[in-house]
């Protein structure tokens, strides 16, 4: 099918920008916070669909029909100052797939044409049952099909990587839909997608090989089309299990100045986008806007002529990455640090803070003992203004700071901490050398988002695949985190209920105080890299009795928490060696099975009474340290050996055991400010 021009609203490149929209996330809802003025928001859930069963339709005599496009799918694009009509044209060899539904099953037939033109005759040898039929162009493979709220739904895959064609789109990119009451009726297709039009100018325009468009919503990959009789549209509220959809799309090929090019995307309104233009050597120019763009179904969004200039320096707000820590291993483990809310003048402050935060992480075991495994990249990008956005506590931005990654949370409610994850991951993929050279994909490079904001907060967003970013504001002041005031009566028996924690128990565990670097070690070192769950609990939340699904993910999550008192995940490698470990160091006596964790006071168990995952101290429990080391070695391509781990292990806790450790010595002598626990980790389903 040849390109069709859609009605276009004329947009200049300057309208491109950033958004806080995260309506297409699937987050495991956290338990309610008992501390006043703290709230946690839950974005819209993606419902997973089960595919319907496909049955083979009967073969028969050749069947034919005529297919064209509805009048409202013909429109205009002003290219030369005059309206020029461009019809949708079939090409010889085009084909589409038709579906007929019977109960919980469906039948398909592929129609093909040997002709072309605005209307063409299509034929098939398949006889479908007598029922309403739905057609999808291009035919592709037999799509996953389902129903939702009484409507038929079809999975359509819009390529994330597209091929540039001068003045056109590549064959098969103009996804379309048609409906008829029975097989053999003539079809009148409507367009499902939006096209993005642009031209390039400037001295480097002819060198460009890759153009990436980044949005806030999913615009490519596996997306769902919902029928509505003669009409149909994309939805982001549902998906088939295992679907992979993306908030970006790339156009690859040889680009020439002044030539029309088009990207095919799923429609999305109110988008604040970024475009990255790069050559094959990795040099790039980034264009970031600040106004919303509407990508409308069946229409072209015209971005006009984009001026790239004569070099790769002037328009790109990024600065060359800094390799702050270099691995001595053949396969380094990669970490990326990025800023938000730092203006160009404040980037030196960001760099100093990034180094200070990384120093705190690698002064904490086990990161300290495995430091040689890591490449730590400090990436830079300037924001238009200082600080993070302010929300109403429910994710709605009320004050915009102009921060590059749209970080934001409430004045007194940090539970809705969110940022523009599509922009974060696209930026890191574009600028992290270890990703660009193929060492690691994005889901193996944890991202530390360091935010120039003095408000309290911190939250990690983690994906099932391993992808993550940890939000860490540089909170002002000396902070203190308390231990929960209640605990389980029995470590083994949830039915015995809860009791108050005594002051003697608190004295034994020690009271932790520190600053934003404690938040960094908890959110990034614990959640982001270590894939650990929180081990604190709320005093009134008795908790679930179900298993923990994250234990079985490809990149496991929450293995530091057990859903049962016996067995636990740490039985074989820790508890079974308890006597041996005690002979090595009496501090290993702290290992056991203790009820409470994963924000639940009952029905969840942890391996030690306290750790960084409870009160942000610079101490990970023995089992937590082992899990972190396992992840380090897996990313480094090495096998884990428990004996080798224990030979390097250090079980000292700076709060309880080391009065003058390098980490603890950084803390202020000013009286600490009591703060509540940080918001639970947000789990996002890939």
Is there a contact between 36 and 329 (Cβ–Cβ < 8 Å)?
no
Query: Which phi and psi (to 5°) does residue 164 adopt?
Result: -75, 130
Is there a contact between 19 and 420 (Cβ–Cβ < 8 Å)?
yes
The pLDDT assigned to 44 comes to 30
The pLDDT assigned to 288 comes to 66
**Facing residues of 214 across strands?**
248, 274
Is there a contact between 169 and 250 (Cβ–Cβ < 8 Å)?
no
Is there a contact between 263 and 6 (Cβ–Cβ < 8 Å)?
no
The C-alpha atoms of residue 91 and residue 172 are separated, in whole angstroms, by 10
Is there a contact between 409 and 391 (Cβ–Cβ < 8 Å)?
yes
The pLDDT assigned to 61 comes to 65
Is there a contact between 350 and 380 (Cβ–Cβ < 8 Å)?
yes
Question: Shortest CA distance to 208 belongs to which of 319, 306, 295?
Answer: 306
Kindly state the greatest CA–CA separation across the chain. 88
Q: Which of helix, strand or coil describes residue 632?
A: helix
The C-alpha atoms of residue 447 and residue 548 are separated, in whole angstroms, by 25
**CA distance readout (Å), 666 to 41, 363, 618:** 34, 11, 11
* Cα angle 188, 190, 191; round to 5: 150
Going along the chain from its start, the domains and CATH numbers come out as 7-16+48-307 (no CATH), 317-479+501-531+611-686 (3.40.390)
Is there a contact between 83 and 8 (Cβ–Cβ < 8 Å)?
no
Q: What is the DSSP letter of 45?
A: P
**Residue segments in the chain with a per-residue pLDDT below the cut of 70:** 1-52, 56-61, 69-88, 140-142, 288-291, 313-319, 541, 659-670
The pLDDT assigned to 142 comes to 66
The pLDDT assigned to 31 comes to 28
The C-alpha atoms of residue 2 and residue 382 are separated, in whole angstroms, by 41
The C-alpha atoms of residue 341 and residue 339 are separated, in whole angstroms, by 7
Is there a contact between 451 and 330 (Cβ–Cβ < 8 Å)?
no
The pLDDT assigned to 289 comes to 58
Q: What pTM, to 2 d.p., does this model score? A: 0.65
Is there a contact between 272 and 291 (Cβ–Cβ < 8 Å)?
yes
**Facing residues of 65 across strands?**
122
* Cα angle 198, 201, 203; round to 5: 150
Q: What is the DSSP letter of 670?
A: S
Is there a contact between 603 and 561 (Cβ–Cβ < 8 Å)?
no
**CA distance readout (Å), 484 to 502, 503, 507, 518:** 11, 11, 13, 18
Q: Cis (ω within 30 of 0) for the bond into 246?
A: no
């Amino acid at each position: 099918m040849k390109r069709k021009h859609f009605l276009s609203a004329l947009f200049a490149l300057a309208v491109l920008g950033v958004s806080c929209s995260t309506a297409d996330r699937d987050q495991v809802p956290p338990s309610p916070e008992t501390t006043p003025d703290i709230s946690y928001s839950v974005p819209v859930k993606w419902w997973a669909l089960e595919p319907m069963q496909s049955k083979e339709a009967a073969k028969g005599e050749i069947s034919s029909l005529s297919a064209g496009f509805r009048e409202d799918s013909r429109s205009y694009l002003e290219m030369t100052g005059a309206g020029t009509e461009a019809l949708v044209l079939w090409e010889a060899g085009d084909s589409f797939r038709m579906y007929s539904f019977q109960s919980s099953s469906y039948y398909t037939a592929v129609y093909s044409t040997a002709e072309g033109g605005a209307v063409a005759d299509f034929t098939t040898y398949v006889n479908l049952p007598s029922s309403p039929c739905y057609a999808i162009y291009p035919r592709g493979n037999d799509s996953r099909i389902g129903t939702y709220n009484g409507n038929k739904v079809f999975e359509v895959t819009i390529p994330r990587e597209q091929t540039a064609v001068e003045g056109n789109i590549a064959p098969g990119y103009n996804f379309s839909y048609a409906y008829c009451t029975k097989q053999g009726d003539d079809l009148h297709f409507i367009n499902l997608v939006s096209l993005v039009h642009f031209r390039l100018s400037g001295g480097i325009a002819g060198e460009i090989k890759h153009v990436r468009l980044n949005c806030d919503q999913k615009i490519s990959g596996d997306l769902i089309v919902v029928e509505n009789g003669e009409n149909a549209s994309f939805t982001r509220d549902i998906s088939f299990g295992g679907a992979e959809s993306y908030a970006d799309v790339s156009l690859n090929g040889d680009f020439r100045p002044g030539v029309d090019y088009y990207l095919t995307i799923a429609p999305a309104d109110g988008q604040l986008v970024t475009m990255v233009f790069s050559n094959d050597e990795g040099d790039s120019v980034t264009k970031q806007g600040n106004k919303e763009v509407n990508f409308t179904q069946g229409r072209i969004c015209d971005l006009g002529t984009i001026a790239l200039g004569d070099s790769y320096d002037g328009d790109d707000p990024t600065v060359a990455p800094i390799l702050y820590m270099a691995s001595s291993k053949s396969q380094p483990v990669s970490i990326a640090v990025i800023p938000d809310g730092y203006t160009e003048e404040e980037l030196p402050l960001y760099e100093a803070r990034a180094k200070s935060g990384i120093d705190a992480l690698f002064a904490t075991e086990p990161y300290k003992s495995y430091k040689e495994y890591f490449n730590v990249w400090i990436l830079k990008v300037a924001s238009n203004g200082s600080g993070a956005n302010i929300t109403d506590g429910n994710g709605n931005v009320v004050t915009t700071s102009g921060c590059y990654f749209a970080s934001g949370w409430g004045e007194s409610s940090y539970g809705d901490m969110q940022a523009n994850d599509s922009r974060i991951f696209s930026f890191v993929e574009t600028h992290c050398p270890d990703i660009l050279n193929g060492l690691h994909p994005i889901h193996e490079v944890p991202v530390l988002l360091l935010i120039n904001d003095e408000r309290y907060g911190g939250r990690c967003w983690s994906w099932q695949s391993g992808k993550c970013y940890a939000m860490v504001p540089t909170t002002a002041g000396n902070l203190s985190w308390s231990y929960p005031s209640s605990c389980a009566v029995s470590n083994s028996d949830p039915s015995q209920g809860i009791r108050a924690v005594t002051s003697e128990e608190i004295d034994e565990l020690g009271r932790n105080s520190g600053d934003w670097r404690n938040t960094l070690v908890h959110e990034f070192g614990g959640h982001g890299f270590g894939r650990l769950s929180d081990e604190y609990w709320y005093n009134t939340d008795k908790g679930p009795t179900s298993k923990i699904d994250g234990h079985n993910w490809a990149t496991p999550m929450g293995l530091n928490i057990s859903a049962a008192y016996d067995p636990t995940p740490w039985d074989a490698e820790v508890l079974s060696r308890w006597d041996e470990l005690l002979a090595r160091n009496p501090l290993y006596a702290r290992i056991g099975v203790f009820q409470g964790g994963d924000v639940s006071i009952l029905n969840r168990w942890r391996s030690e009474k306290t750790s960084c995952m409870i009160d942000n101290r610079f101490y990970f429990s023995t089992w937590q340290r082992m899990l972190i080391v396992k992840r380090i070695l897996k990313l480094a391509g090495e096998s884990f050996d428990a004996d080798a781990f224990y030979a390097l292990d250090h079980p000292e806790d700076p709060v309880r055991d080391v009065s003058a450790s390098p980490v603890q010595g950084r803390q202020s002598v000013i009286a600490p400010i009591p703060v509540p626990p940080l918001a639970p980790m947000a789990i996002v389903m890939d």
